[in-house]
Structure 1
Amino acid sequence: MGVLDGKVALVIGGTRGIGAAISRRMVADGASVGIIYRSRANDAQRFENELRENGARVFTVPADVSDVTALDHAMDQIARHLGGLDILVSVAGTAIVGPLEAYADDAFDRSFALNVRAPFVAAKKAASLMAKGGRIITIGSIVADRMPGGGGTLYAASKAALGGMTRGLARDLGAREITANLVQPGPIDTERNPADGPNAALTRAPLAISRHGTADEVAGLVAYLASPEAGFVTGATYNIDGGWSA
């Protein structure tokens, strides 16, 4: 038996990279898993089929989660199809980076719509669907705490906002024993940030453990926070960064 048997998990941005590893771990731990993805529908369908091979209950829905109405509708679809919601993991985000003077006029709105508003709206909606003891987990970034170079003002600002949001959610939902926690990865080996990419060595320079982390390592931390063992953990920020912030 898995520690999440009978639970329904929703992973927003759960078909690629860190999100895909989290979806796989939720399935391995026994949860039924709903996934919201934005694009690459054929890849999403293949991933859904992969997860279903061992009998898992999986349901994927395409949506642009920066659109509040689309996000609300997608969450309703998943809750109806899978029979509720117990665990929310918000992974989807965007990185608008570059010289300060080069930011487009709408760069702030686009960045915060996906990186801050979407996880907030998802958490608010999830709280309305969850019973006592639910779990809300948001994936941020270690640049919220330490920005090692230029070009990341908006990205760092949007990720820093998630810490305050998480602490507020913990207070607002604590009476119902719904926990809210934030996971801040450092350099993780994914399609977007490969360990053998052109900037990989520079990215690893601030680390105490001189390698990229793996998506499965992040998924393992998320699995703990989603588990019954973490029922007394809320409002916390967990850095999984190889010592980036040490």
Structure 2
Amino acid sequence: METMKAVAEVSESTKAEAVAAVQRQCQEEVASLQAILKDSISSYEAQITALKQERQQQQQDCEEKERELGRLKQLLSRAYPLDSLEKQMEKAHEDSEKLREIVLPMEKEIEELKAKLLRAEELIQEIQRRPRHAPSLHGSTELLPLSRDPSPPLEPLEELSGDGGPAAEAFAHNCDDSASISSFSLGGGVGSSSSLPQSRQGLSPEQEETASLVSTGTLVPEGIYLPPPGYQLVPDTQWEQLQTE
């Protein structure tokens, strides 16, 4: 019995020593692991800090590079402004097209107004050049011989202007050859009426009657306006000569 007790005591002490040894070994391993973990954590923290600093430095470098790139772009656009010029040319072309759509109708209207103004100025100059009291080319009321050619049809008179010039020309142009007159004075004086018998010498009775009616102003073709005082009737040949001049 005593031997068994001794063996049991020895085995129990051996087991206790083994358990204590295992516990010590575990504690040592845990301490070593904790130390390794702390070292790893500290190294990782150092790496994270370094990475953060590197990231900040990279951000600063990126910002500086962006600023430098913007400055270089400005310098490049100043040195080689092709892109900006092309854009400006495209915009200018679009603006010119829009302005052309507006300006072309206005130019046409301006041309029409210029043409009307030129015609009005020419008409005013023509009226100003015509004398208001032109002297008669012939002082007598001598009649030309009657023409044998048939008279042309009467042309419509133009509207009478301020000095009576166009009406007198139309009247001279519309007079037929059967009663062509070299001069026609509307003064109605005594001298002209006294010279009528002398001018009628050598005429046939029909011509004398026609000359009498014309001299008194009673023979007026239908639709023809008598010229005002100071204007003279001319033959067709003289009228054509004046027209050619």
Q: Would you say same fold, with TM above 0.5? A: no
Under a length normalisation based on structure 1, what TM-score does the superposition of the two structures give? Answer: 0.19
Which one has the largest radius of gyration? 2
Under a length normalisation based on structure 2, what TM-score does the superposition of the two structures give? Answer: 0.19
Q: Greater helix share, 1 or 2?
A: 2
